[in-house]
A and B are shown apart, each in its own frame.
Chain A
Amino acid sequence: SQTIHQWPATLVQPVGSPLSLECTVEGTSNPNLYWYRQAAGRGLQLLFYSVGIGQISSEVPQNLSASRPQDRQFILSSKKLLLSDSGFYLCACPGGGSDNSPLHFGNGTRLTVT
């Protein structure tokens, strides 16, 4: 089974500063990868997903971007953070090879924008 690594675990950043969150996956090749955000007390919001290197689909227009420079690496970035970017950021990939495999999540990054 795969292992999803996310870092950092927590982050406090001022408004207007840049952001880079990294996710790497072990134990599988060419996985679909997802970035989700969860605001306090809210459900999961899909931000980006990727089916392969350099292939990114954006679900919500915003000041965030994503990149997949390597098969098992998925990066979430921003040039200038907003207060509304605060939340719990989760990287995920399917636990199996079929389209309806359940998602497994990394431990997440809790971002506070001040």
Chain B
Amino acid sequence: GQNIDQPTEMTATEGAIVQINCTYQTSGFNGLFWYQQHAGEAPTFLSYNVLDGLEEKGRFSSFLSRSKGYSYLLLKELQMKDSASYLCAAMDSNYQLIWGAGTKLIIKP
């Protein structure tokens, strides 16, 4: 079957670095997406990886290893506004998204 796993909750300190991991199993693969979702709001797109390696976008980076079925989202210089849920989603061979349950990130001052 198709499956996505990511931690339920993580806590980090303002100014620090945090890495949110995601493992996936899909029938075929057409890319891995990360979304940010603040409480009570809709998800917003953060990053997309389809090739192995690291993609950097300012304070946020996303990594993919297709052979390991593994991705992570790296957040640097954490700010209080980064407190949110981070959703991992893998796209299968039919271009359908398989969603993880999300990782709630709590930032402490």
Q: When chains A and B are docked, how far (Å) is the Cα of A100 from the Cα of B41?
A: 23
Contacting residues, chain B, for A104 (C-beta < 8 A): 45
Q: Which residue from A43, A90, A95, A99 sits with its C-beta under 8 Å from B42?
A: A90
Min Cβ gap B62→A in Å is 12
Interface residues on A, range: 10 to 19
- Asked if A46 is at the interface (CB within 8 A of a chain B CB), the reply is yes
Contact A103/B31 with A43-B102, A44-B99 known, Cβ cut-off 8 Å: no
User: 20 interchain pairs (CB within 8 A)?
Assistant: A41-B101, A42-B101, A43-B101, A44-B87, A44-B97, A45-B99, A46-B97, A90-B42, A95-B45, A99-B30, A99-B95, A100-B31, A102-B33, A102-B45, A102-B48, A104-B45, A105-B42, A105-B44, A108-B41, A108-B42
B residues with CB within 8 A of A: 4, 30-31, 33, 40-45, 48, 50, 87, 89, 91, 95-97, 99-102
- Beyond contacts A42-B102, A100-B48, A102-B48: 12 other A-B pairs, Cβ-Cβ < 8 A, are A42-B101, A43-B87, A43-B101, A44-B43, A46-B96, A90-B43, A100-B50, A102-B33, A103-B45, A105-B43, A106-B42, A108-B42
